[in-house]
Chains A and B, each alone.
Chain A
Amino acid sequence: MSSLDHLIYMANQIARNFGTLDDAGAAASTAEHIGLYWDPRMRRMIFGHLAAGGEGLSTVAKTALESLHEKQAA
C-alpha cells in the first residue's frame, strides 16, 4: 500500500468508526479527528488527493476532508 493509499484507507476507516452517527455528525467527528492527529504533510497529501477528485474516499470521509480543508485554509 502506498502512503497515499494508506491515508485514504485511514480516512475511510475513521469515518466508518463514526458510522453510528448521522452523516453530518460522522463527517464532523472525522474532520476533528484528522485535524487533531494527522501531521501537516499527511493532511496536505490527502487534501491534494481530494482536489484531484478524491478517488477511493468514502462520502463521509470526503465531506470531512472538505470541511477540514476549508476550516484550515480560513
Chain B
Amino acid sequence: MGYEPQKDFGTPASRSEKMVTLTIDGEKVTVPEGSSVMRAAAEMDTHIPKLCATDNMKSFGSCRMCLVEIEGARGTPASCTTPAAEGMVVHTQTPRIEKLRRGVMELYISDHPLDCLTCSANNDCELQDEAAAVGLRDVRYGYEGENHLGLGTDSSNPYFDFDPSKCIVCSRCVRACDEVQGTLALAIEGRGFESKVSAGTPMDDFMSSECVSCGACVQACPTATLQEKSVKEIGLPDKSVVTTCAYCGVGCTFRAEMRGEQLVRMVPWKDGKANRGHSCVKGRFAWGYANHQERILNPMVRESIDQPWREVSWEEALTHAASEIKRIQEKYGTRSVGGITSSRCTNEETFLVQKLIRAGFHNNNVDTCARVCHSPTGYGLRTTFGTSAGTQDFDSVEQCDVMMVIGANPTDAHPVFASRMKKRLREGAKLIVVDPRRIDLVRTPHIEAEHHLPLQPGTNVAVLTSLAHVIVTEGLADEDFIRERCDWDEYQDWAAFVSDENHSPEKLEAVTRVPAETLRGAARLFATGGNGAIYYGLGVTEHSQGSSTVMAIANLAMVTGNIGRKGVGVNPLRGQNNVQGACDMGSFPHELPGYRHISDEATRKLFEDDWGVKLDPEPGLRIPNMLDAATDGAFKAIYVQGEDILQSDPNTKHVAAGLEAMECVIVHDLFLNETANYAHIFLPGSTFLEKNGTFTNAERRIQLVRRVMEPMNGYEDWEVTQELARAMGLDWNYTHPSQIMDEIARLTPTFAGVSFDKIDAMGSIQWPANDATPDGTPVMHEEGFVRGKGKFVVTDYVPTDEKTGPRFPLLLTTGRILSQYNVGAQTRRTENSRWHEEDILEMHPSDAENRGLKTGDWTKLASRSGETTLRLVVTDRVAPGVVYTTFHHPATQANVVTTDYSDWATNCPEYKVTAVQITPSNGPTDWQESYEDLAERSRRIAETVEAAE
C-alpha cells in the first residue's frame, strides 16, 4: 500500500449503544451518543481544523482551531469538546469561523520557524496542513517580536529529538504521556508565553527524565517538535505495511513505514486490537538489530567447535546437516536426535520444525522455549479449565474492578498492556500485587496498590491457599457459580483442604512472610470487589510448584466466580511474541498441534494420513531431558531454531556440557549466539521484517506478520526448514506460509476456521475459531468450561528443595527490565543498551550493610551451581534476604548460578529461587574469563582469520 497517515478522528470513539443524528454542513450523520461534533464530522469525512485534538486522548479544547457554529447555540464552541446531540445543526465553515481560525493560526505561525522546505516534517506536519486549510497567507505581526525560535534541541534520547523552537504547546505530548502511557514524565512548565514542555529534571532533558521512550509523545506531536531521528536522517516514508511486533507476548501491531526497502520507522497501528495504537521502547524503536553488522548472512559449517567457521553454500550446509542427522541416527538410534522450536518465530515456522522432527526425524524429541517459561500454564489451565490458554482478551481489563498481579512486572515486561492496566487503575479499579519485589505498579503516579503481598520467593502456593482459606472460611465463595459451573464434589474436597486451620494466613505467615492481616484484606477485596481478574507471569511458573500455582490461581478464579465474562479471568502474560503460538503448534514432545497427546491413536492417525508417515506414539524428550541424555551419550544431534539455550536455560555449565557432548549442533539464528559457540552448522535466520506468517499473542489473538523487505540471508526461516526437510528426503512443496496455516487448520479443530485471508479481512482472530465460533473467541468458558465442569485441584504447598543456609543465605530471583528483552540478542544490538548496559544486582540496604557493600560495587554472586560477578544497586525494592538480577547479558551469564530444580509437572526451571551468597569482588570470575575466551575463539570465521594472517 502507498503511504498515508493513519486517519485521526480527533476524539475517541464513544461506546454508547444509543445513537444520535445531527446535521453537519447540510448532511445528516448518525453517531453514538457521547461522540464529539469533531468526531461526527470526521466520521463523514469532513475535516475540522485542529491542533490539540487527537483520537487516542480525551478532548482538551485548548487550540481554538476547531471552532464551529451550532444553530441555536451562542458563540463558536470547540467541536472537540462539544458532544453531538440529536437534531443539532452544525456549520464547520462560515465567514466568522474562517476569520477566527485564521487569526489563531496567525498567532501560532508568528512564533514558529518558517523553514518548512528543510523541516524534517515537511508534508507530515499538522501545523503546516492546518495553516493551508485555514488559508493563512501572511502574518501581520511579523517575526521580529519575542519568540522561542532560538531554543536549542534536546537530542539526548537515542531515538527522537525534542526541538522546542517548533513547539506550539498543544499539550498533546504531555497528555499522551499521562493518558496513553501513564508515566506522567512530562509537564507544561510556566504560564502564558513562558509555557514550555518540560521533562521535569534538573537537566530538563528526556534521557535523564522518567521518560520510558514509548514514543507516544512523538506519535502525538503535530509538528516536528518531537520526531524520530530516523525520519530526520532518512526522510519521510513513502509506503507502509502493517505487521506484528516480534518482542513480548502483547503482540502490538505496527505500521512498518518504509522508504523503498529502507525501514524509516515503526508506528503503532491504531486499529491493532492488542495495543490500540500504543507501543513501547522495544517495538517502537529497537529494530536496529535487523541490519546490525553482526548478523550472519551466509551458512557456515565446521568439523569441531574449536575450529573457525567456514562459509559454505546453502546447499552444502543443508546437505551436510541432513547427512549428519542420518549418520547419527544410524549410529545411535532414531531417538538420538531432536530439535527446539522458537517462540520468536511464526506459527508456520514452529509447525514446520515440529513436523520435520516428527515426520523426518521419526521421533517426538521436539521442545520449545516455553519449556522454560509458560509450560506450567499449559499444564495447569488444561487440568482445571480444559484448555492451555488465558481466558480473556486485553480489552477485558477495561471492565475489571480488582486486578491481582502475581509474579509479573508488566511495566517492564509487557509495557503496552501495563499502560492499559494503569489507565483502568487510574479510573478506580483496585490493585493487589503479589511479588517479592516492590514492582513499579505498587506505587506509581496516581496509582497505589491496595495490598502488596511481598512474599518469600517459593511460597506462591502457600499464599494462594491462604487467600482461598479466607474466602471459603469467611463465606465469600460464589457458591451459585460453583454449583452451576464446577464439579461440586471436587469443590467440597478442595474447600475442606483450604479451610484447614493450618492454611490460615496466621499459620502460614512464618512461611510466606506476608502479614496475615494484609493477606486477609487482599482476599476479601478480591472476593467482594466486583469483577476480579488475575494477571500472572513467570514469577508464578518458574518454580518447583509452577503448575500447582497455576492451578491454585484457577481455583481462586472459580471460587470467586471470576471466570467466563468480560472483566475477569485468568491471564498469563506471555513472555515472548509467539509463546502461545509455539505451544499451540505442537512444540511439546508429548503432544501434537492443538494440545492432543501423541499417544492418542485417532489424533495420530489424522496426522499420519495427512503427512503420509507413521508417527512415534511415545512422548519425546524435554529440553532438560535432552541435555541429560546428551551427557549420557544417548542424544547426539539437535536443530535449534531461534533459541539461545546456553544463555536462557538454567545451570549454564550443564547446558554447555550437554551441547559439547553432541556430535552435531545446528543453530538457525540471526547471530552467532551463545549456543552457537557449541555448534557445528550455522543456518542464518531472517527477522520478522523479512518474513510472512502469523504470531499468536497472550490473548490467543492470531495476527499476520507481513514481509516488508527481502530476507538479507535470502530465505525466510520456514523456507530454510523446508529445504532441510527436503534434504532429509521429505517431499515438501509449500510456496507460501498461508499454505502451512491451511494445513494447521485442516488438522487442528481450534484453528479450523483460521486462514490468512480471514485474518487479513478481520485484522486478527482469537482461537478457538471454527464452525462454532467463526469469528473467534475473545472470552473463553462463557457458557461452560472447555472440559465440562471446572475442576478444583487440591494444591498442597511443597517447599522447594533449594534451601538457604550458612553458605548461601540469600534468595536470588530473576526478571526482565524494560529496555532489554530476554537474552538480549536483539536489544543489546540497539541503542536500548544506553538504558541497561549490564545486568545489575539489587540488594536490600540491610543485607548490603552487613556485607559492607554499596551501590556500584562489584560483587560475586555464588550458588551451588556456579558463580559470576556483577555490579550492585542497593535498594529497598527487594525485601531483606532477597536479591534480584536480570539475565540479558552474556558477560554476566546469570544462569551460571541457577540450578537444575524445576517444576514437578513440566520441568520448567526454578529460576525464581536460588540460594546464593554475595561477597565483594575485584572482577570477573575464572569461569567468566574462560567463557569469554571460548566465545571469542568460537566466533572466528575462516576468511577473517586468513585476512588477519
Say yes or no: B798 contacts A40, CB within 8 Å: no
Question: Which residue in chain B gives the minimum CB-CB distance to A17?
Answer: B904
> Of the 9-residue stretches B264-272, B419-427, B629-637, which lies at the interface with chain A?
B629-637
Chain A residues closer than 8 Å to B905, beta-carbon distance: 14, 17, 33, 37
Task: Tell me whether B597 is interfacial, beta carbon within 8 Å.
Answer: yes
Say yes or no: B796 contacts A39, CB within 8 Å: no
Task: Tell me whether B713 is interfacial, beta carbon within 8 Å.
Answer: no
Say yes or no: B619 contacts A13, CB within 8 Å: no
Say yes or no: B599 contacts A16, CB within 8 Å: no
Kindly identify which residue among A36, A39, A41 contacts B599, using a CB–CB cutoff of 8 Å.
Answer: A36
Chain A residues closer than 8 Å to B544, beta-carbon distance: 13
Task: Tell me whether B652 is interfacial, beta carbon within 8 Å.
Answer: no
Task: Tell me whether A19 is interfacial, beta carbon within 8 Å.
Answer: yes
Chain B residues closer than 8 Å to A3, beta-carbon distance: 628-629, 631-632
Chain B residues closer than 8 Å to A33, beta-carbon distance: 905
Kindly identify which residue among B619, B620, B631, B796 contacts A36, using a CB–CB cutoff of 8 Å.
Answer: B619
Near A by CB (< 8 A), chain B positions 596-610 give 597, 599
What 0/1 pattern do residues 1 to 34 of A give for CB contact below 8 A with B?
1010010001001101101100000000000010
Task: Tell me whether B497 is interfacial, beta carbon within 8 Å.
Answer: yes
Say yes or no: A41 contacts B900, CB within 8 Å: no
A37 CA to B907 CA, complexed, in Å: 10
Say yes or no: A37 contacts B798, CB within 8 Å: no
Say yes or no: B904 contacts A16, CB within 8 Å: yes
Task: Tell me whether B885 is interfacial, beta carbon within 8 Å.
Answer: no
A6 CA to B627 CA, complexed, in Å: 12
Say yes or no: B904 contacts A39, CB within 8 Å: no
A13 CA to B597 CA, complexed, in Å: 23
A38 CA to B618 CA, complexed, in Å: 9
The distance from the CB of B500 to the nearest CB of chain A, in whole angstroms, is 11
A16 CA to B631 CA, complexed, in Å: 27
Say yes or no: B548 contacts A39, CB within 8 Å: no
The distance from the CB of A57 to the nearest CB of chain B, in whole angstroms, is 15
Task: Tell me whether B574 is interfacial, beta carbon within 8 Å.
Answer: no
Chain A residues closer than 8 Å to B900, beta-carbon distance: 1, 6
Chain A residues closer than 8 Å to B628, beta-carbon distance: 3, 6
Task: Tell me whether B532 is interfacial, beta carbon within 8 Å.
Answer: no
Count chain A CB atoms within 10 A of each CB in B548, B589, B620, B796 and give the residue with the most.
B796
* With known contacts A16-B904, A17-B904, A33-B905, A39–B632 Cβ distance under 8 A: no
A13 CA to B548 CA, complexed, in Å: 12
* With known contacts A13-B544, A14-B904, A17-B545, A37–B590 Cβ distance under 8 A: yes
Count chain A CB atoms within 10 A of each CB in B597, B618, B628, B794 and give the residue with the most.
B628
Say yes or no: B335 contacts A17, CB within 8 Å: no
Kindly identify which residue among A20, A36, A41 contacts B335, using a CB–CB cutoff of 8 Å.
Answer: A41
Task: Tell me whether B625 is interfacial, beta carbon within 8 Å.
Answer: yes
Question: Which residue in chain A gives the minimum CB-CB distance to B590?
Answer: A37
Chain A residues closer than 8 Å to B621, beta-carbon distance: 39, 41-42
Near A by CB (< 8 A), chain B positions 413-448 give none
Near B by CB (< 8 A), chain A positions 32-55 give 33, 36-42
For chain A, give the interface size range: 10 to 19
Say yes or no: B589 contacts A39, CB within 8 Å: yes
Chain A residues closer than 8 Å to B346, beta-carbon distance: none
A38 CA to B621 CA, complexed, in Å: 7
Say yes or no: B497 contacts A40, CB within 8 Å: no
Chain A residues closer than 8 Å to B798, beta-carbon distance: 16-17, 19
Say yes or no: A42 contacts B796, CB within 8 Å: no
Task: Tell me whether B365 is interfacial, beta carbon within 8 Å.
Answer: yes
Chain A residues closer than 8 Å to B497, beta-carbon distance: 20
Chain A residues closer than 8 Å to B545, beta-carbon distance: 17
* Majority secondary structure of chain B interface residues (helix, strand, loop or mixed): loop
* Majority secondary structure of chain A interface residues (helix, strand, loop or mixed): helix
A68 CA to B900 CA, complexed, in Å: 26
Say yes or no: A20 contacts B625, CB within 8 Å: no
Kindly identify which residue among B548, B634, B904 contacts A41, using a CB–CB cutoff of 8 Å.
Answer: B634
Near A by CB (< 8 A), chain B positions 573-600 give 589-590, 597, 599
Question: Which residue in chain A gives the minimum CB-CB distance to B627?
Answer: A3
Say yes or no: A40 contacts B599, CB within 8 Å: no
Question: Which residue in chain A gives the minimum CB-CB distance to B632?
Answer: A3
Say yes or no: B796 contacts A41, CB within 8 Å: no
A58 CA to B622 CA, complexed, in Å: 24
Chain A residues closer than 8 Å to B629, beta-carbon distance: 3, 41
Kindly identify which residue among A1, A19, A39 contacts B619, using a CB–CB cutoff of 8 Å.
Answer: A39
The distance from the CB of B555 to the nearest CB of chain A, in whole angstroms, is 13
Chain B residues closer than 8 Å to A17, beta-carbon distance: 545, 548, 796, 798, 904-905
A74 CA to B625 CA, complexed, in Å: 26
Say yes or no: B796 contacts A40, CB within 8 Å: no
Question: Which residue in chain A gives the minimum CB-CB distance to B365?
Answer: A39
A42 CA to B628 CA, complexed, in Å: 10
Question: Which residue in chain B gives the minimum CB-CB distance to A6?
Answer: B628
Question: Which residue in chain A gives the minimum CB-CB distance to B547?
Answer: A17
Question: Which residue in chain A gives the minimum CB-CB distance to B796?
Answer: A20
A33 CA to B548 CA, complexed, in Å: 14
Chain A residues closer than 8 Å to B618, beta-carbon distance: 39-40
A38 CA to B625 CA, complexed, in Å: 9
Kindly identify which residue among A1, A13, A19, A38 contacts B796, using a CB–CB cutoff of 8 Å.
Answer: A19
Chain B residues closer than 8 Å to A20, beta-carbon distance: 497, 794, 796
Chain A residues closer than 8 Å to B548, beta-carbon distance: 17
* With known contacts A3-B632, A16-B904, A42-B625, A37–B619 Cβ distance under 8 A: yes
Chain A residues closer than 8 Å to B364, beta-carbon distance: 39
What 0/1 pattern do residues 447 to 489 of B give for CB contact below 8 A with A?
0000000000000000000000000000000000000000000
Chain A residues closer than 8 Å to B794, beta-carbon distance: 20
A38 CA to B622 CA, complexed, in Å: 9
Question: Which residue in chain A gives the minimum CB-CB distance to B497?
Answer: A20
Chain A residues closer than 8 Å to B620, beta-carbon distance: 39
Near A by CB (< 8 A), chain B positions 288-320 give none
Chain A residues closer than 8 Å to B907, beta-carbon distance: 10
A3 CA to B654 CA, complexed, in Å: 11
A37 CA to B625 CA, complexed, in Å: 11
A16 CA to B335 CA, complexed, in Å: 30
The distance from the CB of B370 to the nearest CB of chain A, in whole angstroms, is 15
Chain A residues closer than 8 Å to B599, beta-carbon distance: 36
* With known contacts A16-B904, A17-B905, A40–B590 Cβ distance under 8 A: no
Question: Which residue in chain A gives the minimum CB-CB distance to B599?
Answer: A36
Chain B residues closer than 8 Å to A6, beta-carbon distance: 628, 900
Chain B residues closer than 8 Å to A39, beta-carbon distance: 335, 364-365, 589, 618-621, 625
A10 CA to B589 CA, complexed, in Å: 17
Question: Which residue in chain A gives the minimum CB-CB distance to B634?
Answer: A41
A17 CA to B599 CA, complexed, in Å: 24
Kindly identify which residue among A10, A16, A36, A41 contacts B590, using a CB–CB cutoff of 8 Å.
Answer: A36
Chain A residues closer than 8 Å to B589, beta-carbon distance: 39
The distance from the CB of A62 to the nearest CB of chain B, in whole angstroms, is 17
Question: Which residue in chain A gives the minimum CB-CB distance to B628?
Answer: A3
A40 CA to B365 CA, complexed, in Å: 11
Chain A residues closer than 8 Å to B365, beta-carbon distance: 39
Question: Which residue in chain B gives the minimum CB-CB distance to A33?
Answer: B905
* With known contacts A3-B628, A6-B628, A20-B794, A36–B597 Cβ distance under 8 A: yes
Say yes or no: B625 contacts A13, CB within 8 Å: no
Chain B residues closer than 8 Å to A40, beta-carbon distance: 335, 618
The distance from the CB of B59 to the nearest CB of chain A, in whole angstroms, is 55
A40 CA to B589 CA, complexed, in Å: 12
Question: Which residue in chain B gives the minimum CB-CB distance to A13?
Answer: B904
The distance from the CB of B311 to the nearest CB of chain A, in whole angstroms, is 36
The distance from the CB of A34 to the nearest CB of chain B, in whole angstroms, is 10
Question: What would 13 A/B residue contacts be, using CB atoms closer than 8 Å?
Answer: A3-B628, A6-B628, A10-B907, A13-B904, A17-B904, A20-B796, A36-B619, A38-B619, A38-B625, A39-B364, A39-B619, A39-B625, A40-B335
Assuming A6-B900, A37-B622, what are 13 further A-B pairs, CB within 8 angstroms?
Answer: A3-B628, A3-B632, A10-B907, A13-B904, A16-B798, A36-B619, A37-B905, A39-B335, A39-B365, A40-B618, A41-B629, A42-B621, A42-B625
Pairs A-B, 10 closest by C-beta atoms:
A3-B628, A17-B904, A13-B904, A20-B796, A20-B794, A39-B621, A40-B618, A3-B632, A16-B798, A14-B904
